[in-house]
Structure 1
Amino acid sequence: MPVINSIAAMEPEMREWRRWLHRNPELQFDLPKTAGFVADKLRDFGITEIHEGIATSGIVAIIEGQGDGPTIGLRADMDALPILEASGVEHASETRGKMHACGHDGHTTMLLGAAKYLAETRNFRGRVALIFQPAEEGGGGGAVMVDEGVMDRFDIEQVYGIHNAPNFAEGEFFTTPGPIMAAVDTFHIDITGKGGHGAMPHDTKDPIVAALGIGQAIQTIVSRNHYALDELVVSITQIHTGTADNIIPGTAYLEGTVRTFDPQVQDMVERRLRQIVEGQAASYDVAATCRYERGYPATVNDADKAAFAAKVAADVVGADKVTPDSPKEMGAEDFSYMLNVRPGAYLFLGAGPGPVLHHPEFDFNDTIAPLGASFFARMVETAQPV
């Protein structure tokens, strides 16, 4: 079964939807225009059961198939990023400082395309739950939707999601059984010393020297406290301190990210961060505190569902364009919360060469939208055949 012909014929229409969404980016849970656009399209498709306002701006729409059967969930994220767009495309963001730099406009479009087809054909048993989620980019909208009971409320038995993948072969699918994306944590380190004149450091307690020492020591967590063949990333991503060349400041701040797959490794990193901060602070005669925030858990595919998803993808694009056991990656996704409560799978869809995700010049490749929509539709028809 190749790309569904009626969905392929929808490509110009889907491009219009996607580019409207791209011009109108919104952040986190505050998605009135985006959610309104999605709900209007769903009504245009003849879908009558549309539940709005879940997790503030999320939507779950139900399409009834032919006869009794289970409910399968399909998810797309809708939110953009706080980035100043520099793509130069005609459909660039019209809201300064906000842009769809991760392709969520494309993900929403793919699910809308599948929704239109499924609402017209209804060639499946049971029901489809179309999950349009807010706040993937740091807000944990997936967790909020789960906490608000969408899986139980709509009796969803399994759930699937797709993410576009720049610089992977265009039109190829990638997934894997088990962990596919990492857990993400954030650490915050506040250092308080004693400021003074840059020419008289002996009268100060320099937080910059302490920050440098702490930063260097943190690098030993991966190199000296962790088994080299297990996946772990610890990166310092922000350092803020100082105001002038002749002033030693009184405070410094460090922030960073931790990416893991094993909860025991998470525990080790948190423990070592606190020990390093405490010990280094004492050695530099400053005060320092470490705040460690647990973020999205690892995204873990159900092995059977991942194999099934790979088979469906092969039906759409051909087996030679599907990698069913791709390497896991250190990015993170709040689809993990949905997979924590229901079996399912997360897949990547290659978008071809171009700027990476979260880059100010990024733009979703519209030619892959019919592939993603066809995958979603075939997933339903194959999982719940009439």
Structure 2
Amino acid sequence: MRENDKVEAIIAEAIGWRRHIHANPELGFAEHETAAFVAAKLKEFGLAVHTDVSATAVVATLTKGSGSKAIALRAELDALPIKEATGVDYASRKDGVMHACGHDGHAAVLLGAAKLLAGSESFNGTVVFVFQPAEEVLGGGRKLIEDGLIERFPVDQVFALHNWPGLPEGHIGVKPGPQMAAVDDFEIIFRGSGCHAAMPHLGDDPLLAAASFVTAIQRLVSRSVDPLSPGVLSVTEIHGGRFNNFVPGEVKVEGTCRFYERALSDHCAAEIERVAEACALMHGGRAELTYKRGYPPVVNPAQGAALAALAGADTVGAERVLTEFQPSMGCEDFAFLLQGVGDGAYVWIGAGDVGPGAGLHGDRFVFNDAIVPIGIRFFVNTVQRALPVGG
């Protein structure tokens, strides 16, 4: 019996794993209980388990047949610093920490695939199961690469999935080229001379410089980037001043840039610095930029995307596999693993309409358990496509 025929038998168990992880969320690089739970299950399935690779990561290997090819499947372990408001009976037991992105579901799906494949003879080669810490903000994927994941567990391709609200349930989305954006963050300190609000001529006004910058920097997208190359720049924080009758001597502005072309990282850094310094000089002050290069874009190679699309068709039917759609300006540190390996794909599993306020990173987000079997089948089919018996 093929593993896909056995999925139904473990759905309830996999959903139970998902809800256990959901009730016990942990933030990035602190997923000790979650990692221990995952490691115990993988050992129970008979896999070779490694917990000494990188921080709280769990890596397991499974080899069948004599094939030399290897692929990796990745899921995330971390939750978010959000106070849950779902009201479900398995809600977070940790105040202010919540699985609001579906990593609990992704981990359960990968565990389900591992359990089925462990008892399988339907592939030929090695599967590396990577349960990654700190996908959110902290760059656990980058640390995995820096700590030698690929050198220790060399693979030919790497695949990951993510539940995707708004994409119809029962559909899968994967496309060659960009699917998720890069993200860079910036912080600018505008400095000048503070003064009494009634005597502005006695000082400079960093607030005016900051306000000028907020409007002027939008030229970066509208006038300095090719209109056919998508980009977003958002100013998200302004901090300065303590009293309403005193002009502060320092104002901090923070924001983020999103784009698909890696070369835009250097362009954004240079343009933000140029505009900030010009705005500061115009108001008699100075500006100091800190530019932080974050996650690179997720760009699916054609070969990996094609294989994932075939596995998707095996899972939900070719008519429900989308390969042409608008990519997201959201970011994902799977990009580091994809860059490190060189081939593979990042895939969206449709979660359907989750309603207002219940999307990714919302305090009312609830993972759609109906897609658990779809995710398990997709991973199993990916392995069978990538590591065929006789291949």
Instruction: Give the letter aligned to residue 365 of structure 1.
Output: N
Instruction: Give the letter aligned to residue 350 of structure 1.
Output: G
1:14 and 2:14 equivalent?
yes
What TM-score do you get using the length of structure 1 for normalisation?
Answer: 0.96
- Cα 1:40–1:3, aligned 2, differ >3 Å: closer, same or farther? closer
Instruction: Please point out which of 361, 364, 375 is paired with 1:372.
Output: 375
Instruction: Give the letter aligned to residue 71 of structure 1.
Output: A
- Write the distance in 1 (CA, Å) between the matches of 2:376 and 2:196: 63
CA distances 1:258-279 after superposition (whole Å, capped 9, x unpaired): 1122233222221111111111
- Write the distance in 1 (CA, Å) between the matches of 2:212 and 2:236: 15
- Write the distance in 2 (CA, Å) between the matches of 1:121 and 1:266: 45
The answer (yes or no) to whether the contact 2:193–2:249 under 8 Å persists in 1 is yes
The answer (yes or no) to whether the contact 2:192–2:249 under 8 Å persists in 1 is yes
The answer (yes or no) to whether the contact 2:64–2:123 under 8 Å persists in 1 is yes
The answer (yes or no) to whether the contact 1:75–1:130 under 8 Å persists in 2 is yes
Shift of 1:122: 3.5
The answer (yes or no) to whether the contact 1:205–1:284 under 8 Å persists in 2 is yes
**Alignment correspondent of 2:353:** 353
Shift of 1:227: 1.5
The answer (yes or no) to whether the contact 2:25–2:79 under 8 Å persists in 1 is yes
Deviates more, 1:61-70 or 1:230-239: 61-70
The answer (yes or no) to whether the contact 2:110–2:376 under 8 Å persists in 1 is yes
For 1:332-343, list aligned pairs within 5 A.
332-342=331-341, 343=343
- Write the distance in 1 (CA, Å) between the matches of 2:195 and 2:83: 37
**Alignment correspondent of 2:66:** 67
| Secondary structure in structure 1 of the residue aligned to 2:51 | strand
| Secondary structure in structure 2 of the residue aligned to 1:278 | helix
For 1:227-242, list aligned pairs within 5 A.
227-242=226-241
The answer (yes or no) to whether the contact 1:125–1:385 under 8 Å persists in 2 is yes
Shift of 1:374: 0.8
Shift of 1:9: 2.4
Instruction: Give the letter aligned to residue 368 of structure 2.
Output: N
Instruction: Give the letter aligned to residue 313 of structure 2.
Output: A
- Cα 1:226–1:185, aligned 2, differ >3 Å: closer, same or farther? same
Deviates more, 1:199-208 or 1:138-147: 199-208
Instruction: Give the letter aligned to residue 102 of structure 1.
Output: C
Shift of 1:320: 1.5
For 1:36-75, list aligned pairs within 5 A.
36-47=36-47, 49-75=48-74
**Alignment correspondent of 1:23:** 23
**Alignment correspondent of 2:314:** 315
Shift of 1:2: 11
For 1:142-291, list aligned pairs within 5 A.
142-291=141-290
The count of residues paired between Structure 1 and Structure 2 equals 385
| Secondary structure in structure 2 of the residue aligned to 1:43 | helix
Shift of 1:157: 1.2
Shift of 1:385: 1.9
The answer (yes or no) to whether the contact 2:3–2:116 under 8 Å persists in 1 is no
- Write the distance in 2 (CA, Å) between the matches of 1:73 and 1:312: 15
- Write the distance in 2 (CA, Å) between the matches of 1:94 and 1:193: 47
- Write the distance in 2 (CA, Å) between the matches of 1:230 and 1:276: 21
| Secondary structure in structure 2 of the residue aligned to 1:373 | helix
CA distances 1:341-375 after superposition (whole Å, capped 9, x unpaired): 22100100110111221111111111101111111
- Write the distance in 1 (CA, Å) between the matches of 2:181 and 2:192: 35
CA RMSD of aligned residues (A): 1.7
- Write the distance in 1 (CA, Å) between the matches of 2:201 and 2:122: 78
Deviates more, 1:3-12 or 1:368-377: 3-12
The answer (yes or no) to whether the contact 2:3–2:120 under 8 Å persists in 1 is no
> Gaps spanning 5+ residues in structure 2: where?
none
CA distances 1:236-265 after superposition (whole Å, capped 9, x unpaired): 111112223333222211111111222332
- Write the distance in 2 (CA, Å) between the matches of 1:300 and 1:294: 17
The answer (yes or no) to whether the contact 1:64–1:122 under 8 Å persists in 2 is no
**Alignment correspondent of 1:4:** 4
CA distances 1:14-39 after superposition (whole Å, capped 9, x unpaired): 11111111111111111101100100
Q: Identity of paired residues, percent? A: 44
| Secondary structure in structure 2 of the residue aligned to 1:88 | coil
- Write the distance in 2 (CA, Å) between the matches of 1:40 and 1:233: 43
Deviates more, 1:86-95 or 1:27-36: 86-95
Instruction: Give the letter aligned to residue 376 of structure 1.
Output: F
> Gaps spanning 5+ residues in structure 1: where?
none
- Write the distance in 1 (CA, Å) between the matches of 2:2 and 2:127: 21
- Write the distance in 1 (CA, Å) between the matches of 2:55 and 2:87: 32
- Cα 1:382–1:54, aligned 2, differ >3 Å: closer, same or farther? same
The answer (yes or no) to whether the contact 1:66–1:123 under 8 Å persists in 2 is no
The answer (yes or no) to whether the contact 1:71–1:128 under 8 Å persists in 2 is yes
What TM-score do you get using the length of structure 2 for normalisation?
Answer: 0.95
| Secondary structure in structure 2 of the residue aligned to 1:136 | coil
Structure 1 runs of 4+ off > 4 angstroms? none
Deviates more, 1:338-347 or 1:193-202: 193-202
